[in-house]
Amino acid sequence: MAAYRLHRGVDIRDVADAHTAALTNSGDPFQRHIISATTPFEPEDCASLATDAASVTRLRAPALAAEFDRRKWPLSQKIDRIYASILADTPQLALSFRL
């Protein structure tokens, strides 16, 4: 599941924390909040992620790659999409919640 979190998915604990933060903030009612983690990948990694994701993961998340090696687990060879939250991190959003 750790490798999956590199590019998609969300930990349910983060969802619960975000709900709490949304319920207790003092902003306008019916605000929209985006719950997303950052990704270690960069836009220039996209082509390589489609063909050799393991090498990109070793470059961008070396501790994770080392742990996979220690456990003798294979890294993903292809990653077909990344959910990036970069546009969500703007001053226009009322809630800026970080774990």
More confident residue, 37 or 98: 37
**Which of 50-54, 58-62, 68-72, 92-96 bottoms out in mean pLDDT, i.e. has the lowest?**
92-96
Answer yes or no: are the C-beta atoms of 37 and 10 closer than 8 Å.
yes
* Mean of the per-residue pLDDT values of the chain: 80
Tokens read off for 92: 């226009």
Q: Is 37 exposed, middle or buried (0-12, 13-18, 19+ CB in 10 A)?
A: middle
Q: Please give the torsion angle defined by the CA atoms of residues 88, 78, 46 and 11, in that order, rounded to the nearest 10 degrees.
A: 10
pLDDT class for 55, splitting at 50, 70, 90?
very high
The confidence score (pLDDT) of residue 63 equals 93
The domains of the chain are located at 1-17+42-89
Rounded-to-integer distance, Cα 96 and Cα 44, Å: 27
